[in-house]
Structure 1
Amino acid sequence: MGDSIDTGMMTQVLREMGEKAVVASRALAVLPAEEKNRCLRRMAETIEAAVPAIKAANEEDLKAAKAAGLSAAMIDRLTLTDRRIAEMAEGLRVVASQADPVGRVLSGTTRPNGLFIEKVSVPLGVIGIIYESRPNVTVDAAGICLKAGNAVILRGGSEAFHSNMALARLLDEAAVGCGLPDGTVQLVPWTDHAAVPILLKMDKYLDLIIPRGGERLIRLVCAEATMPVLKHYKGVCHLYIDAECDVEKAVAIVVNAKCQRPSACNALETLLIDRRIAERFIPPFLAAMKEHGVELRGDAEFRKFDPSAVPATEEDWFAEYLDLILAVKMVGSVEEAVAHINHYGSRHSDGIISSIQADIDYFFANVDSATLYSNASTRFTDGGEFGMGAEIGISTDKLHARGPMGADELTSYKYLVRGDGQIRS
């Protein structure tokens, strides 16, 4: 459908989609694991067989994005290469190979009165996902929601409309071919932004909403949604170079964290350098940053080592650049580094490069983020890298799910209580 549509008609269609999703979710909740896995594998095969069609649809989006002047970071997120399409299919197969997250007995106890109480994992129901740019989310989200026995309603960004529609058609074709209920995977078929506020008020149908995109989108969803929201606002990721560490490894880790894919939410945005290692670390670090074309924004102390660095402002310490820009600050201890991260960070992914075990232990115990690293790049915060196959997103919340979210994180639980005539006195 693509463009704008009468709001009344849009509301009616979205409600019909919600009703179909609820009916589908009840069937999916009791679908055997082998049936879900068979369908996930069929979805992977269908995508692999349609690479030319997927790339053709993606090219339409890329042409429009370039004409509209979208940033290089946004275009990178939008682009579907052969490798990325293959990774989407492989992600579905990995999800299919995993243990079923539904029906797990989480605990069991017998009460003094003889009641046996089991806590068992169950699907959440219907999940809504609002996302920007990355069309691979269409496939990842559908696969993970299916694995966890949930129906899903997807609303992709207008910049990826043709890509998302092509992928959704393929997923629906595979689902129908496997005999799954109508409404298992649905994509909102318009680019009109009016669909979003309607979707956010559909708590009668949606049990959870997950926004994936820029901070503006996520804050809008949190402000208007009438159902629970799982989200992260942004990824202000830090690395702290401790007083003692392997300088060669440290430089390599910083280069990877900042430069390997700067548009990702797990890319490095702020580097904290202990002044006790500055003389050894900063020269090779500066050479590496120059080689990779990284703009540095530093505090006054760092700029004594690199006068060409842009003076950092208070806003820089909060910034998610998603580009080849890095904020750099000198600190005097692991305690000072931790205090900075907890104040300016986004609770996403932060790390320490150190050969001092006590400092690593202190960092791990005191930094309040979803994922922490010692002597490794922050770029590993990803469902695939964590063995989840695809991922539904990365949560910086503390309730229900935190960090990369796979199928396990899209379940809830219920209590099954078995008795033999017990009554409460």
Structure 2
Amino acid sequence: MTSLHSFRLSRRAFLRGAGVAMGLPYLEAMMPSNVMAAPMPSAPARMGTFYFGTGMNMRQFTPDDEGPAFKASRILKPLEPLRGHFTVLSNTYLAEGGGHDGAYPFATAVAKGEKQRISPDQVAAQAIGADTRFGSLQLSVDRGTNYGSQALATISWNDQGVPLAAENDPKLLFDRLFRPDTDEQKSREKGEFRRRNSILDLVLDDARQLQSQLGATDRQQLDQYFTSVRELETQLQRRIDWADRPKPEPQPTRPKDYTTARPGPEGNGDYLYDEYAKLMYDLIALAFQTDSTRVVSYVVRKELSGGVYPEFNVSKGYHALTHHGNDPQNLEELARVDAIYMTHWAYFLKRLQSIQEGDGTLLDRTVLGLSSGMGFEHSKDNLPTIVSGGGGLGIAHQGHLRLAEATPLSSVWQTMLDRVGAPVAGEFQDSKGLIQPLLS
């Protein structure tokens, strides 16, 4: 094949055109020319931590049985097609969690109001992020940090214990990944998305030249990548095209305490949540695929505020639902909302699984941990915790794994760090050590 025998490509290669430098996915042409003389390099390891504020309906989250063949609970059913690529962990515990301040100790085990320590994503960034444009990306449904409030917008803390601001706007994230950021370009392009040419159009000549030198497998990989970028550009452009058109006046149909701003720039409700969630997960996939970053944190649902959207068709906000009082409707609606979030999580995992990389997939080379600062009824016990991906990094998925009572959530982070090549020497937070059943 051409890509294996005659044409070599640097792992740090870019497509260039009109001031744009567009990263490339992992290709066979990036492998050594003589695979017999040199070891075939592995695709890089990636790590993601995801926060789902205010817990979940654990009565319909936790499976009744254990092992790889466990029967999926209602909330976990969207993940059925991905068996073998995730593990549900019961009995994870956050000593300083529970209540409404769980986002603070989530990644550090340090309570709100105390001096924070470095979060696991930043430990990973120091170990595996040096060779990427962004050492890490902090994402959220809200911009900034909201430090001091219960609705913390970030779960990332640097080694000085300072919270790292998160971004919530898909358009700005896309520009950070693909648009030039020189002063000249920023001045010319600020606020002018509709006037910009497609990133793909700007690098078209370079792309055509590259494709002519690649083998069939790499051409297919590059086509898939370009298609993903084009689809994202189209969705974001559509939002811009409609931005100046007046919207119809909404008819009040729901109680005031239900109405919440949908995610979007500055929380102005630019997106239905289904569209927003998929855009954000697609952007994370592209950031990993292009090796723009290897570390991501994402506040998928903030503590206390928000969490449900009009299209969810439930009677009240997420936090109000968690104070269910054993009311069947509250419990039903809570489970329905949680299942919607798991549907989007399944979308994300399938997206990563669809991207071939080396002798596996992007999901194989990425380990992802999701959980919350509370479990059910604001408890700090039995958090809704799932580890996904990482099969190529030595994660041995167990389906449903029931851990010892009160296993610190930090043990999950320590295990993930170990698998991505950022092992922690000595003690790590309040961890009791690596979760051995997850290690292959």
How does the TM-score come out when normalised to structure 2? 0.23
| Larger Cα-atom Rg | 1
How does the TM-score come out when normalised to structure 1? 0.24
Structure holding more helix per residue: 1
Structure holding more strand per residue: 1
